[in-house]
Amino acid sequence: MDDKAYGIRDRKGFWRPFRRIEYPPVFVWPAEPRGILEWLFGYPGYLYPWNVFYAALAVLVWFFATPSLAEMRSFSPGWIFFIFVRNLALIFLFFGAFHLRLYIRKAQGTDFKYNAKWLDTSSPRFLFGNQTVDNMIWTLGSALPVWTAYEVLTLWLFANGYIPFVGFDQHPIYFVLLLLFIPLFRELHFYVVHRLIHWPPLYHSVHKLHHNNVNPGPWSCLAMHPIEHLLYFSGILLHWVVPSHPLHALYHIIHAGLTPAPGHTGFDRIVIGDRSSFDTESYAHYLHHRYFECNYADGTVPLDKWFGTFHDGSEEAHRAMIGRRAAKGAPADAQ
């Protein structure tokens, strides 16, 4: 599969797709019922492939890899350690699959890779000079414990009836609608947190660690400062106040833990065989890593468009971003 049919690589080695980033036809008026249905049920779309995959994974985890509520009524090392190891396995299997194919085997070379350079192995920005090692240390040493702590505490609260519980048999429509709503809530939550940590004092003390990954790879996605992890995974607190089921909370935190990986692969498409590929839907977030001051949200709700920070990959959007920088008195020499 030739990436020249999908995009172009400039003289600096940066590949960009021909297509422009677009928002789904949801928040437009007059409403477009057909477009909304195609976005909701089409491929690729809101449900397929990723959100259905994460929801199915959460169901499997709930039924086959989560202790019973009766066991989780009291804190004990056994079930807490089990959840920690299970989350460790999820991270290694999911992040590792992308990293193995794209960066160890280099199965498709630099085809569809936004930045033709490979990950740093001798940069002072990273622990031990190695980008992958640095990313894995922050992911396993901070993201994994914070993810697990939020999950353990939430499941313990459910087990003891301290937070509102709703079962599928009680309110099946509400149960399903809440599952559908979680990715949208996650985007709103992520946008608020993301704009907060781009406030200069927090950016330089917290978020800059993540932005060391100008040329991200799969393990870059959760390579964050512990304070950022506390903020990022705090979305699960929604289920402390909104009537939910433990499955909703599991879906929520698995979604938060795994969805960043495809978005940080550094590749526009993953090639499978000679003619097949799938879109990582990562270009918008790659532009954020490259330019820092655009595309703070994930791309379903047009928050960046509403607040004037949207970059669709075009020259016009790039000039507008440089203009915003100049208006703030910041350097306008973006790449």
- Residue-wise DSSP of 184-242: HHHHHHHHHHHHHHTSHHHIIIIIHHHHT-SS--GGGTT---HHHHHHHGGGGGHHHHS
Residue 49 lies in a domain: yes
Q: For position 334, what pLDDT does the model report?
A: 46
Residue 335 lies in a domain: no
Q: For position 333, what pLDDT does the model report?
A: 47
Position 97: which residue type?
A
Q: For position 204, what pLDDT does the model report?
A: 97
**CA separation for the pair 61, 321 (Å, rounded):** 42
8 A C-beta contact, residue 218 and residue 95: yes
Residue 129 lies in a domain: yes
Residue 302 lies in a domain: no
Expressed as residue numbers, the domain containing 67 is 3-292
Q: For position 330, what pLDDT does the model report?
A: 59
- Three-state DSSP state, 7: strand
DSSP H helices in the chain: 33-41, 50-64, 77-99, 131-138, 144-159, 172-197, 200-202, 208-211, 226-232, 238-241, 246-258, 260-263, 283-291, 303-306, 315-327
- CA nearest to 304, candidates 284, 327, 278, 331: 284
Given the structure tokens 């414990």, which residue do they identify? Answer: 145
What are phi and psi for residue 119, nearest 5 degrees?
-65, 145
Residue 307 lies in a domain: no
Q: For position 60, what pLDDT does the model report?
A: 98
**CA separation for the pair 259, 50 (Å, rounded):** 8
Q: For position 50, what pLDDT does the model report?
A: 94
**CA separation for the pair 266, 289 (Å, rounded):** 10
8 A C-beta contact, residue 99 and residue 90: no
How many domains does the chain fold into?
Answer: 1
8 A C-beta contact, residue 27 and residue 301: yes
**CA separation for the pair 208, 194 (Å, rounded):** 12
Q: For position 273, what pLDDT does the model report?
A: 80
The dihedral sign for the CA sequence 178, 183, 187, 190: positive
Residue 274 lies in a domain: yes
**CA separation for the pair 155, 160 (Å, rounded):** 9
Residue 333 lies in a domain: no
8 A C-beta contact, residue 66 and residue 83: yes
Cβ–Cβ contacts within 10 Å for residue 56, how many? 11
Q: For position 327, what pLDDT does the model report?
A: 83
Residue 57 lies in a domain: yes
DSSP for residue 244 = B
Grouped pLDDT means (10 residues each) for the chain, 335 residues: 92 94 87 90 92 98 98 98 98 98 97 97 97 98 98 98 96 97 97 97 98 98 98 98 98 98 96 85 95 91 94 92 82 49
